[in-house]
Amino acid sequence: MRPKVRTAAWLAAAVFATGVAARAAAASAEPSTPDLPGVDTSELAPAQLAMFRKIAAEEFCYCGCPHTLEGCLREHKACRHAPRMAQLIVRLAAHSASADDIHKVLRSYYAGFERGKRARLDVKDFGPPLGDAHAPVSIVEFSDFTCPFCQRVKPEIDAYVHDNPQRVRLYYKPFPIASHPHAMEAAIAAEWARDQGLFWKMYDQLFGHPHNLAEGDLVGYAAAIGGDPDDLRKALETGRNQARITASQAEGRAAPMTGTPTLYLNGHKLELPYGHDLRDVLDFAVEDEEEWAKHGGWERD
């Protein structure tokens, strides 16, 4: 059953323009510039390439220089931000976004870096993180063990954190969906394991057995990871830590999140559209966050 909140929020489906009119408009646009240095546009069809060139001539680079993106790429070659911004536009164009939607996504994405736009998320009761606790980029994931979209992205997120432990630290915050059978019980089991210092082992067990989350299954997982199964049984019977879980849900709604899973990088909601590789999108967004965290804004070349 589909949850009341939409799933996979950062897919940002609105940017995928599939209408004939949007495609026709892009096809009729004339290329305004030759290919720009440092930008791989090989995945773009001719109409998409024309649209990319037009947008690059209209949007200003967010590095703070007085140039359009095209001008920054040509004249401000020391800028390390412009090529990343250009590749974001390429990714959007390759997924058939219209020019208007690309402009909107760019403005929304870059505006989200400002301090007042970031969600304030409390992770003090949701540690320890996966990865280095002192890594500069904190990834907070609101998720539900019973959500198929959460199950799909789990290995990609885990692999990214595993490969970049000095860059990112992952915190899991529960958002069990009421209409999903055993979602709350799984969340209680995870928070029980957190209190025992066994959270990430239980996290793997729960995501590894999404269709076996009845009480007997959960108690078995507790034993498998070296916990006290009888104590977990008592936690399930009494609803132990349910207040912590509902507080996490309330924080997620206020952030706001629009579905599970939702990721926040240093409080910046990740809702970039992407193809099939979440790790590629994470690497793009983390690099932006690293620059912002290091310099207190975009690096001025």
Please indicate, yes or no, whether residues 75 and 178 belong to a single structural domain of this protein: no
How many structural domains does the chain have? Answer: 2
* pTM beyond cutoff 0.85: no
Is pLDDT at 33 greater than 70 in this prediction? no
Identify whether 273 is part of a domain. no
Residue showing tokens 């408009």: 25
Identify whether 265 is part of a domain. no
Please indicate, yes or no, whether residues 180 and 215 belong to a single structural domain of this protein: yes
* DSSP assignment letter at 116: G
Neighbours of 35 (CB within 10 A): 13
Please indicate, yes or no, whether residues 107 and 179 belong to a single structural domain of this protein: no
Please say whether the beta carbons of 156 and 214 come within 8 A: no
Q: List helix spans (H) across 170-277.
A: 183-195, 199-208, 215-224, 229-238, 242-254
Reported as a single tens digit per residue, the pLDDT across 100-156 is 999 998 998 888 888 888 999 999 999 999 999 999 999 999 999 999 999 999 999
Reported as a single tens digit per residue, the pLDDT across 203-228 is 999 999 999 999 999 999 999 999 99
Please indicate, yes or no, whether residues 95 and 48 belong to a single structural domain of this protein: yes
CA dist., res. 93 & res. 82, Å (int): 17
Please indicate, yes or no, whether residues 71 and 149 belong to a single structural domain of this protein: no
Identify whether 288 is part of a domain. yes
Q: How confident is the model at residue 91 (pLDDT cuts 50, 70, 90)?
A: confident
Please indicate, yes or no, whether residues 98 and 169 belong to a single structural domain of this protein: no
If we measure between CA atoms, which residue out of 141, 149, 278 comes closest to residue 200? 141
Q: What is the CATH number of the domain that holds 194?
A: 3.40.30.10
Length of the chain: 301
Q: Which range has the worst mean pLDDT, 5-9, 38-42, 191-195?
A: 5-9
Please indicate, yes or no, whether residues 104 and 134 belong to a single structural domain of this protein: no
Q: pLDDT at position 43, please?
A: 92
Exposed, middle or buried: residue 247 (CB in 10 Å: 0-12, 13-18, 19+)? middle
Q: Which domain holds residue 172?
A: 130-254
Torsion of CA 273, 277, 279, 283, to 10 degrees: -60
Please indicate, yes or no, whether residues 138 and 22 belong to a single structural domain of this protein: no
Is pLDDT at 20 greater than 80 in this prediction? no
Identify whether 78 is part of a domain. yes
Identify whether 116 is part of a domain. no
Residue 264: in which H helix or E strand, if any?
A: strand 262-265
CA dist., res. 124 & res. 106, Å (int): 32
Is pLDDT at 267 greater than 60 in this prediction? yes
Reported as a single tens digit per residue, the pLDDT across 195-204 is 999 999 999 9
Please indicate, yes or no, whether residues 223 and 284 belong to a single structural domain of this protein: no
Question: Span 8-34, mean pLDDT?
Answer: 35
* DSSP assignment letter at 201: H
